Structure 1
Amino acid sequence: MIDLHYWPTPNGKKVSIFLEETGTPYRLVPVNIGRGDQFKPDYLKLNPNHRMPAIVDHEPADGGGPLSVFESGAILFYLAEKTGKFWPQDLRGKYEVTQWVIWQMANQGPKLGEAGHFRRLGDREGDQSYAVRRFTDEANRLYGVLNMRLRDRRYLAGEEFTIADIVIYPWTVNWQAQGQDIAEFKHFKRWFEEVGARPGVQRGLAVGADLGTDNSKLSEEEQARIRKILYNQRALPVPD
């Protein structure tokens, strides 16, 4: 059994999609990031970076005690290896997939996250026009990378659906909030629609749909409190 420590964000949905696609049994453990659950001591034992998701495998392949893994890319590598699904192990196929998972973690996720952040921020912290332009343009470049890649293949790593597609897809669902028009990227749009039509992907996206909070319905004071938790963090003190 896998424990999935989760909140319904793109990074969390990478893992729920994989688990639903493969039919892997799991137990959902909510980590309310707006409440600060990610900073609780018990959770920090699983993820010292105080982010989610994290998993705990109660039946690891080595037969030892429960094994925890954090970082969504590492989690997908682990689960794909454990289940033998969505990650080919021949030399060329393996690294065709691996490089796109790393690309997502190093490029797509951080840059699309910044695009969404600064576009949502408005003028609460002063003039953000440069940041909005910088990250919206970078988001456009990254969609162009995907579009170019998908011009001559069905999926990111070839003709088979893999964890490369799983890790990238959730970050593209909110393309409008990132200031993009996917009609500009016809090869990407074809892939986006095909992946989004998969029943396992749809089930994975729906996981935790009842957990999220509509911040627009909260008071300004409560919104400010949540923003402080999510966006104004500094180093945690080392315990004595």
Structure 2
Amino acid sequence: MLDQFDITKRWPAKDPSVIQLYSLTTPNGIKASAMLEETGLPYEAHRVSFQTDDQFTPEFLSLNPNNKIPAIIDPNGPNGEPLPLWESGAILIYLAEKSGKLLPPDGAKRAEVLQWLMWQMGGFGPMLGQFGFFHAYGGKEIEDPRPLDRYKTEAKRLLSVLDKHLEGRTVVAGDDYSIADVAIWPWVRALFTGYKAAEALELERYANVLRWHTECADRPASQAAINIPPSP
């Protein structure tokens, strides 16, 4: 069933009966691998290397024309048909519904979880990503301070939103750990790892975020996900 997808020519499936994950250990990539680990759905992971521009190859673009990770193929999708899917938020929702885990089935709690998922997708992730570029990567060579100042200010504002919301809470939304938590914690982690921005953003000010992030990152699924797909 998977041989109809050109991406499998570059990344052959060892077990074509399980979900195929095409990803890398970026914040968005970790979201997908953490979700697969949390749900227990069988899958295998394929490394899409940015160093060799794998995301721009015809095979990868045949699955995701937006040339971003993660992407998946579920050989046992709706009605038993294979389902190709990209965009990390869409993947989280799909896997939650498929497994019946980490997303309330209906009502106000479900809406709340989706609200915070959209907050991450529309603001927290993109703004922290822009901050990271200007603080730690290519953008740091730009002499004009305004781009970095803009995204630094917005990163702090968003961290404050999250910190205030987490006061007295153990999870971001609803009553239990959910796809909202899965979506957000890898981006907080990136502030410490790739961006090395703890001092620049004064992360010690956000005690609720730090407490919550530690609890999320210490979960067995999270610990596994930060190494999936493994480095060569």
Per the shorter chain, which TM-score range?
0.7 to 0.9
Match of 1:218 in 2: none
Match of 2:34 in 1: 17
- State the alpha-carbon separation in 2 of the partners of residues 121 and 60 from structure 1: 38
The alignment partner of 1:28 has SS state of strand
How much does 1:174 deviate?
A: 2.5
The alignment partner of 1:29 has SS state of strand
How much does 1:82 deviate?
A: 0.5
Match of 2:131 in 1: 115
- 1:6 equivalent in alignment to 2:23: yes
- 1:164 equivalent in alignment to 2:194: no
Match of 1:137 in 2: 153
Match of 1:53 in 2: 70
- State the alpha-carbon separation in 2 of the partners of residues 122 and 19 from structure 1: 32
How much does 1:157 deviate?
A: 0.3
| 1:1-240 map, 5 Å | 1-64=18-81, 66-121=82-137, 125-176=141-192, 177-178=196-197, 179-211=200-232
How much does 1:34 deviate?
A: 2.2
Of 21-30 and 202-211, the range deviating more from structure 2: 202-211
- State the alpha-carbon separation in 2 of the partners of residues 203 and 147 from structure 1: 26
- Per-residue Cα deviation, 1:102-158 (whole angstroms, up to 9, x for no partner): 111110111000111001247775314111111111111111111011013211103
Segments ≥4 residues shifted beyond 3 Å: 121-126
- Per-residue Cα deviation, 1:173-196 (whole angstroms, up to 9, x for no partner): 022424323320111121111111
CA contact (8 A) 2:110 2:174 kept: no
What is the CA RMSD across the aligned residues, in angstroms?
Answer: 1.6
With over 3 angstroms needed to count, the CA separation of the structure-2 counterparts of 1:123 and 1:153, relative to structure 1, is closer
CA contact (8 A) 2:27 2:190 kept: no
- The residue type paired with residue 120 of structure 2 is Q
- Per-residue Cα deviation, 1:32-85 (whole angstroms, up to 9, x for no partner): 122111112221121111111100001113112x21010000000110010000
- State the alpha-carbon separation in 2 of the partners of residues 123 and 196 from structure 1: 28
CA contact (8 A) 1:122 1:128 kept: no
Q: Which runs of 5+ in 2 are unaligned?
A: 1-17
CA contact (8 A) 1:118 1:128 kept: no
- State the alpha-carbon separation in 2 of the partners of residues 128 and 198 from structure 1: 41
Q: How many residues are matched?
A: 210
- State the alpha-carbon separation in 2 of the partners of residues 11 and 122 from structure 1: 20
* Percent identity of paired positions between Structure 1 and Structure 2: 40
- The residue type paired with residue 193 of structure 1 is T
- State the alpha-carbon separation in 2 of the partners of residues 171 and 62 from structure 1: 34
How much does 1:209 deviate?
A: 4.2
- State the alpha-carbon separation in 2 of the partners of residues 123 and 52 from structure 1: 22
- State the alpha-carbon separation in 2 of the partners of residues 152 and 124 from structure 1: 37
- The residue type paired with residue 141 of structure 1 is R
Structure 2 length-normalised TM: 0.85
